[in-house]
Amino acid sequence: MNRPAAKEKTRASGRSRSYLQTRVRASRLYEAAFILAIFELTRRLHQAYEQAYDKQAAEWLLPQNTGGGGGAGGPTLNTGPRAHFDSKRFNKCLQDFFGIVPEKDGSIVNPFFDRRYGGSFKGFANGNPGHTYSVVTNINRNSVTLAQDLNRANGTPNYWLTQSGLTLGSDFKGRFGVNYVASDVAADPKNLAIGLLGLFAHELGNGLGAETGMADPFAAYAAENAKFGISDPDVGAAFERCAFGGLVGLRSGRVGSHREF
C-alpha cells in the first residue's frame, strides 16, 4: 500500500504566485513530454518497419504453417485450426470489447508488431478522433524480468518464474501506455510469427482494458475464459480468443487453450 505523500512545509505567508505558476508550467511540460515520447516511439517503430520490411515481417498477415496481467501459459500444444489474422474480425472484436476503431493513416500498419522491434496500436473511441487510445509494446525485458515485475506488482514474491508478456495497470496513464512481450520469447526462432502476434493481441487487449477504464481488466473474465478451457482470467485472453478463435500457440501456430510457453 502506498504511503500518503508528505505535505510540503510552507511559510505563514504561503507560496508566492510566481512560484505556483512555475509549478503549474512544470507539470504541464511533464505531461506534454510524456505524450510526445509515446508518439515518437510509435513513429520510430513504424519507420523501422518500412525500412526493414521483408518476408519475415510480413508473415503475420498470412496463414501460417507452422497484472497486472501476463502471458504465462503452458507447454501443451494446441490442436485446433491454424491461426490467421483477419482484420475485419480483429476490428469487430475491438469494437465489441472496447468501443474502439483503429486509426487509418495511409501506408502505416495498424496494429503493428514485429518480433525485432516491438509493436504499437492507435485507435479512436467509436471513431471519435478526440478520444485517441495508444499502446506501445516493448521487447526490452526478458521473461524472467517480466515475472519479477508481475510478482512485485501483485505482492506475490517468487510466485511466477517467467512471463511471455506483461501489462501492468501502473504503466498506463489515461489513454496512453506501454506493455511488454518478453525479449527472449520474441527472439526464439521456434516461436512462430503468428503465435507472437496472438501474444501481442493479448497484451494489447489488457492495455486497452486498462485505458478504457474496465473495473478489473486482469481478472474479470475468469468465468468466461474458463468456458473455453482458458485459465487466464484477464480481458486480454478473451480478446485474443475473439480475434483468433482461441489462444495462439507459440510453437504450433494453432488455436486452443494454451500459449505453449
How far apart are the C-alpha atoms of 64 and 43, rounded to whole Å? Answer: 28
Whether 18 shows a pLDDT value over 70: the answer reads no
- Mean predicted lDDT score pLDDT of the chain: 81
DSSP 59: G
pLDDT at 39: 54
**Residue 196 is placed in which grid cell?**
507472437
Tens of pLDDT, residues 195-249: 999 999 999 999 999 999 999 999 999 999 999 999 999 999 999 999 999 999 9
pLDDT at 10: 40
**By 3-state DSSP, what share of the chain in percent is helix, strand and coil, each rounded to 5?**
40, 15, 40
pTM of the complete model beyond 0.85: no
CB-neighbour burial class of residue 51 (10 A; exposed 0-12, middle 13-18, buried 19+): exposed
257, amino acid identity: S
Whether 160 shows a pLDDT value over 70: the answer reads yes
How far apart are the C-alpha atoms of 180 and 132, rounded to whole Å? Answer: 20
Mean pLDDT of the 92-107 span: 90
50, amino acid identity: E
Whether 126 shows a pLDDT value over 80: the answer reads no
Helix ranges, 73-229 (H) = 87-98, 143-154, 183-187, 193-211, 222-226
How many helices and strands (H and E) does the chain possess?
A: 8, 10
pLDDT at 64: 28
**Residue 141 is placed in which grid cell?**
525485458
Of residues 71 and 143, more confidence is placed in 143
CB-neighbour burial class of residue 189 (10 A; exposed 0-12, middle 13-18, buried 19+): exposed
pLDDT at 42: 54
HEC letters along 97-114: HHCEEECCCCCCCCCEEE
User: What is the separation, in whole angstroms, between the first and last Cα of the chain?
Assistant: 32
Whether 184 shows a pLDDT value over 50: the answer reads yes
**Cα dist. 99→75, 125, 199 in Å?**
34, 6, 21
Residues shown for the chain: 261
229, amino acid identity: G
Tell me the three state secondary structure of residue 11.
Answer: coil
